[in-house]
Amino acid sequence: MAEAVKTEAPVVAVVSDVPEAEKVETCAKESVVPVPEAEPVKDVVVEDAKVTATKSFKEESNVVGDLPDPCKKALDELKVLVQEALNKHEFSAPAAPAPVQAPEEKLAEASVAAPETELPVVAECKEEEKDAATPVPAPEVAMEKEVAEVVVEKESCIDEDGAKKIEAIQETIVKTEVASAAACADAAAEETPVVPEKVSIWGIPLLADDRSDVILLKFLRARDYKPKEALTMLKNVVAWRKEFDIESLLNEDLGNEQEKVVYMHGVDKEGHPVCYNAFGEYENKELCDATFSDAEKRQKFLRWRIQFLERSIRKLDFSPDGISTFVQVVDMKYSLAPFKKELRHVFQVLQDNYPEFVAKQVFINVPWWYIAFYKVINPFFTQRTKSKFVFAGPSKTTEILFKYIAPELVPVQYGGLSREGEQEFTVSDCIIEEIIKPSCEHTIELPASEACTLVWEARVVGCEVSYGAEFVPSAEDGYTLIVQKSRKITGDESLISGRFKCGEAGKVELKFYNQSSKKKKVLYRFKTIAA
């Protein structure tokens, strides 16, 4: 399967199944990196209430040539920073933990940090002072040992001039040794070629080709086009992936108990893969207990969810003109589950480590009480995140889904025509739309030019209509046959389907009677099978 600004409000992580930008604001054209402007605000109807939401930003291009100049500059700067980090092996080097020090050690460390004092010089020949003198710490540099020996070998008193000469000798040796060490280090650096480490994320090697630009742009957008912050986030994600051992996780067998909860099904009208999240399935106590009853099961669910998302991401096209985001459909029917504590941690992990993977987030079957709740949490989301949200109450769910996803690809339980298993139709079969006027009967004719078998299926958006079917032969002396007695269709879950073997040329008439005061939309498709 978003980064929102981190707050104590737990639901911020819940709403975005796939992470959003943490702090993204619309950029000014000159001083700040610009992002495309949002379209005008619209009202989204949920039951009898309205909530103001913005339409989607047009998805930003990943083609470098299409980016505004400030965005290009930010991308170039991030690539330089990433290359430097690769050269220094900063992605694989663990952060050194700060040692725990006793107060005495801290005091000693503070004294070491102070400016170095000069080596002690004997001013007078007094045995008492020799015995009571504080021992000099063992110098690390060879020349300091040499100077110390010179001092110790002096058995007679050293006058002030002699002391100054020794200090001069010491200083000369120090400078010589330091210069020599620096020269050796420079020579070693020139002789040893820099071998950058190789780092891949979601199967894409960093800086290897233009697919890497798409990855880096995700991190830049998640951090408001601030290269240094984007690099920090990238390092954290790489470190987390190593700690979680993502590559091994991809091959684990974690079962299929969750496949009815989160699953991929078809694409939207722009080609984005669609991920459905039916958290209402956790109303099944057996499934809920098998998923969240103890820490081990919760950890298994987290691993399954990450595995599912990783496998889905590997199927995306990360080329600059490809599809590298998803459409998320979140079903809120019968469910308080998205707000359970057990799921919040999962969403927070996804949010922190999968930036900018959501093109659109569609909430369906939204209950009336969620409107008040959304108004409370709305300030916690950035404009970019809010622009991706779409809400639909139960009566508007099918209509909203059809706006973004072709009816033949919407699952049948959400009012579409897509069913599992073998069926007569495929996604390539044309779907026709017609309007049923209020308080009117509407007839759809399916022609059969010769003896054949007619197969059809239809869906009335909003339902609450009466439906019947009959066969009318072309011959004037033929008899009309009733194929389906008129019956009332209720609920978006009902898919009308039929089959009739025509013994002669004629037509099947599908009759719909709309008794309501609102117009209805009917979608249907049919085909003939030769006798």
Is 379 a domain residue?
Answer: yes
Better pLDDT: 59 or 146: 59
CATH of the domain at 440: 2.60.120.680
Is 451 a domain residue?
Answer: yes
Q: What is the pLDDT of residue 229?
A: 96
Q: What is the pLDDT of residue 347?
A: 86
Task: Please tell me whether residues 228 and 303 are part of one structural domain.
Answer: no
Query: Is residue 399 over pLDDT 60?
Result: yes
Query: Sign (positive/negative) of CA torsion 347, 303, 289, 259?
Result: positive
Query: Is residue 363 over pLDDT 90?
Result: yes
CATH of the domain at 311: 3.40.525.10
What single-letter amino acid sits at 392? A
Task: Please tell me whether residues 371 and 409 are part of one structural domain.
Answer: yes
For the segment 310-343, what is each residue's pLDDT rounded down to a tens digit?
999 999 999 999 999 999 999 988 765 555 677 7
Q: What is the pLDDT of residue 390?
A: 92
Which of 225, 244, 263 is the C-terminal boundary of a domain? Answer: 244
Per-residue confidence at 282, pLDDT binned at 50, 70, 90? confident
The DSSP annotation for 201-259 comes to ETTEETTTSHHHHHHHHHHHHHTTT-HHHHHHHHHHHHHHHHHHTHHHHTT----STTT
Per-residue confidence at 137, pLDDT binned at 50, 70, 90? very low
Q: What is the pLDDT of residue 456?
A: 95
Could you tell me if residue 261 is left (phi over 0), alpha (psi between -120 and 50 degrees) or otherwise beta?
alpha
The length of the chain is 531
Q: Yes or no: say if 197 and 89 are a contact pair by the CB < 8 Å rule.
A: yes
Better pLDDT: 189 or 245: 245
Which of 348, 381, 414 is the C-terminal boundary of a domain? Answer: 414
Which residues constitute the domain of residue 369?
A: 248-414
Element spanning 154, H or E: none
CA distances, 529 to each of 80, 257, 420, 500, 502 (Å): 63, 39, 22, 10, 10
Is 5 a domain residue?
Answer: no
Query: Is residue 273 over pLDDT 70?
Result: yes
Better pLDDT: 208 or 13: 208
Q: What are phi and psi of 172, to 5 degrees?
A: -65, -45
For the segment 404-423, what is each residue's pLDDT rounded down to a tens digit?
999 999 998 898 988 887 67
Quote the mean pLDDT of the chain: 76
Segment 212-218 shows an average pLDDT of: 96
Half-sphere exposure of 443 (CA within 13 A, CB side): 10
Segment 150-177 shows an average pLDDT of: 51
| Cα(173)–Cα(139) distance, integer angstroms | 13
Task: Please tell me whether residues 295 and 362 are part of one structural domain.
Answer: yes
32-36, 121-125, 464-468, range with greatest mean pLDDT:
464-468
Q: What is the pLDDT of residue 20?
A: 39
For the segment 295-315, what is each residue's pLDDT rounded down to a tens digit?
899 999 999 999 999 999 999
Task: Please tell me whether residues 408 and 441 are part of one structural domain.
Answer: no
Q: What is the pLDDT of residue 191?
A: 59
Per-residue confidence at 53, pLDDT binned at 50, 70, 90? very low
Could you tell me if residue 227 is left (phi over 0), alpha (psi between -120 and 50 degrees) or otherwise beta?
alpha
Q: What are phi and psi of 25, to 5 degrees?
A: -125, 155
Comparing CA positions, the residue from 359, 351, 323, 312 lying closest to residue 211 is 323
Comparing CA positions, the residue from 4, 38, 8, 36 lying closest to residue 18 is 4
Instruction: Classify residue 19 by burial, with Cβ atoms within 10 Å: 0-12, 13-18, 19+.
Output: buried
Q: How many structural domains are present in the chain? A: 3
Per-residue confidence at 139, pLDDT binned at 50, 70, 90? very low
For the segment 474-504, what is each residue's pLDDT rounded down to a tens digit?
998 889 999 999 998 876 557 888 999 999 9
Q: What is the pLDDT of residue 217?
A: 96
Per-residue confidence at 293, pLDDT binned at 50, 70, 90? confident
For the segment 73-116, what is each residue's pLDDT rounded down to a tens digit?
999 999 999 999 999 999 986 544 444 444 333 333 333 233 33
Query: Is residue 266 over pLDDT 90?
Result: yes
Q: What is the pLDDT of residue 285?
A: 87
Task: Please tell me whether residues 297 and 331 are part of one structural domain.
Answer: yes
Is 39 a domain residue?
Answer: no
Q: Yes or no: say if 62 and 324 are a contact pair by the CB < 8 Å rule.
A: yes
CATH of the domain at 240: 1.10.8
Query: Is residue 364 over pLDDT 50?
Result: yes
